[in-house]
Each structure stands twice: as structure tokens, then as C-alpha cells.
Amino acid sequence: MTADELVAFAEELARIAAAGGGAKALAGHLARSASIGVLVEDAQWRHLAAAGGIDVPSSVQPLLLDGATGDFQRLRNGYAGRTVAIVTGDARLGRLSIFGESELDQLEHAARLTASAIAVELARELGAQPGRRRTFWERLASQSYNDAVAARDDAIARGIALATHYVAVALEAETGDASAFRAAVLEAFRGGEGDAGVLERGGALVVLVPASREVDASNARTAAALLPRTLQKKQLESPITGGVGTRAPLLASHRSLAEAEAALAIARRLDGPGRIGIYEDLGAYPLLLSGGDAGAMRDFAGRILAPLRAYDEKHQTELERTLRLYFSVGENVKTAAAELSVHRHTVFYRLRQIGEICGSKLDDPHDQLTLRMAIAIDALTS
């Protein structure tokens, strides 16, 4: 199948599944599309469905090669067929096998897509326990998937719709009804393209919020910041502490999760219960908490100073030099103006510009720590 044909094939599989079609309808779609015979069996080798005008064996079990796995497999004794396991997570639900005289190896992707769709249907029939969905998110967080295809195949088998990117939010409630807290949190982060993941780690409730677009990540940060007020409206008065990570691709969700947990720890240690820490806004504190190596320090300094450098390059200004000098003379505007050979009002104006460009307040001790550390690290490593 060409790429376009494969897309159309997958779309029809989705339509059949959405309309309530079971294993037989899905197998029939594959048989018609490729003019082949299709056999579907469950994990006990019981016949579930057969389709196509080509004769198929009563079972593929005696035709399996030794050590056959879930990958697209040839059959024993040169039999004109291929087989692939129907899996959901770590559980094998059966096998889909195809037969015919055409180039069967070219149908691998179509067969795998069909097997995944059938896995969803079989999982629904067996009952989709919440634990099966939670296992997927736990495996994703522990980096158990080798590639995005494997992750998506497993998610489909578990009835989970995935987004391309996620933002992690970690939350702790001091007291109160845990189930009511959980329900309110999930409602606050409902929406977006894809299902949200829910984990419990170290006493914190972690939500992986779908964020295929940057605006979704922005909405997640806003929802997290407003969460204390949202819970108050629901008469859940317990103080909550939280952290929000940065937007990350599916297989890098563990990175956003670690950032959210770090932001939560920083918010709790600096301000106590009741604050939501946004990782991107915490400046130098994540670096101090993690004890970053030289590479992490260089990345931090470059990220913090990048807006100033971009502005200086575009407008031929000296904002970065002004900031460095301002700190080096003990924040004395008059001395800085003399060193720069400008009026002190010019220095005040530049400092306001620096604050706006960096999103910082130069009289805030936390923001000043971040800027001072960035300048010091840059001076040591440049």
C-alpha cells in the first residue's frame, strides 16, 4: 500500500470501530482492501473471525515458527501467510493472520493497524479496567517504550487516545477528601486533543495534560495557576501545592514530569502550602535543586540571557552590558551611568527594558538571583 492508501485504510478502520464494528468487520476491511484471506483467533486459539475469498486454515497454531513473537512473522514450511500478535499492554489477546499469493510483506503495516484495532475491541469486550490504562502511563513515565510507534500501538490497545505533546502537573492537597480533590483536578484539565494521563507518585497526584499545540500548554499553566480558586468555588478548602513542567513530546513526557515534581518541591520549600510553581518561571531554583552539571549550567545561562542578546543584536543596544555593569557596581545607577558615559535616566530606562524583556523584576530577590547566576555562569564558561 502507498502512504495515501494506508492513511485511507486507517481512517476506514477508525470509522468501522466508531460504528461498533467488531473483529469480523475489521478483518473484512483488511481482506477487501488487499484481496487476501484473514483469520482472527483469540489467545486460546479459538476462531473469532475469517474473511476474504481465499481459503484459510482452521488455526494458525501448528504453522507458527518456533519463538514467534508479536512481529510480522512468516509461517512454517513456506506456507503462503503471515501472522502478527494481537496485544494490549503485556497481555496477548490472540493473533491475526493473512493468506494469499500477493506480496504479503508489503501488507505489514495494514495488518498491524488492523491487529491494533481488533485489540481495542477485544479489550472492550473483556472490560477496560482503569488499571490497564494506568499501566500505560506508568510505563510511559518510566521510559519503557523504545519508540513512539510502540507507545501508540499499546495506547490504542488500551483504548487511550494520545496527543503529540504533554505538560505534566503535579499537585498535593494538605487535607480533605482525596477523591473529591482528584475529581476536581481532572475536571479542571479536561479538554484538548487526546486523553489525559493520571499517576500517583510520592503522595502527589500527577496529571499529564495533552498539549499538541503551544496554546494547549499555555491553557494548562493557566488552569493550574487558577486551581486554588477553582477548588475554593467547589468548597474544597484544603491548601494545595503544585508544580507545572514544560511542554514535551510524547516520549519525553518523563522530562516534563520531573520538572513538575521539581517545581512542586521548590514552591513548597520557598513559600509553603498554597503555591503553584511554574517551572519556566522559577529561574535559578531548579538548577540549584538538581545540582546541575557544567552543561546544564551553560544551558541555563544561555536561556536566561538569550532574550537580552537577541534584543541587543536586533536594535544595536547595550542592555546586557548595562545589566552586568549595574550588578558589578553594587546596583549604583550613578556609577553605572558614569561607566557607560550616559545619563542616569538612560540607565533607569534600560533597567526597565531589561525587566520587560526578561519578564523579571530587578528589585525582586528571586528574579535578581536568577539574573546574577546567569551572568556569573556565563562569565565562567564563555
d(CA 311, CA 320): 9
Q: In one letter, which amino acid is 285?
A: Y
Length of the chain: 382
Per-residue pLDDT tens digits of the chain, which is 382 residues long? 788 999 999 999 988 887 666 788 899 899 999 999 999 998 878 888 888 877 788 888 888 877 655 578 888 877 789 999 998 776 788 899 999 877 888 999 999 999 999 988 777 655 545 566 788 898 899 898 888 898 988 888 877 889 999 999 999 887 666 777 887 888 888 766 788 898 888 778 899 999 999 999 999 999 998 888 888 777 766 788 899 999 999 999 999 999 999 999 888 888 777 789 999 888 888 888 777 678 888 888 898 999 999 999 999 999 999 999 999 899 999 999 999 999 999 999 999 999 999 988 888 888 898 899 889 888 877 7
- Cα-Cα-Cα-Cα torsion 92, 159, 132, 148, nearest 10 degrees, comes to 80
The pLDDT, as a whole number, for residue 124 is 67
d(CA 349, CA 323): 12
The answer to whether the CB of 8 falls within 8 A of the CB of 32 is no
Q: Which parts of 279-352 are beta strand (E)?
A: none
Give the contacts of 291 (CB within 8 A, at least 6 positions apart): none
The 3-class SS string of 81-138 reads EEEEEEEECCEEEEEEEEECCCCHHHHHHHHHHHHHHHHHHHHHHHCCCHHHHHHHHH
d(CA 225, CA 240): 11
Q: What are phi and psi of 209, to 5 degrees?
A: -90, 125
Please give the domain boundaries of the chain with CATH numbers for all domains. 3-126 (3.30.450.40), 164-282 (3.30.70.270), 291-381 (1.10.10.2840)
Residue corresponding to grid cell 494520545:
162
pTM, rounded to two decimals: 0.55
The answer to whether the CB of 208 falls within 8 A of the CB of 199 is yes
The 3-class SS string of 252-287 reads HHHHHHHHHHHHHHHHHHHHCCCCEEEHHHCCCHHH
Grid coordinates representing 227 are: 486551581
Nearest Cα residue to 186 out of 142, 231, 124, 217? 231
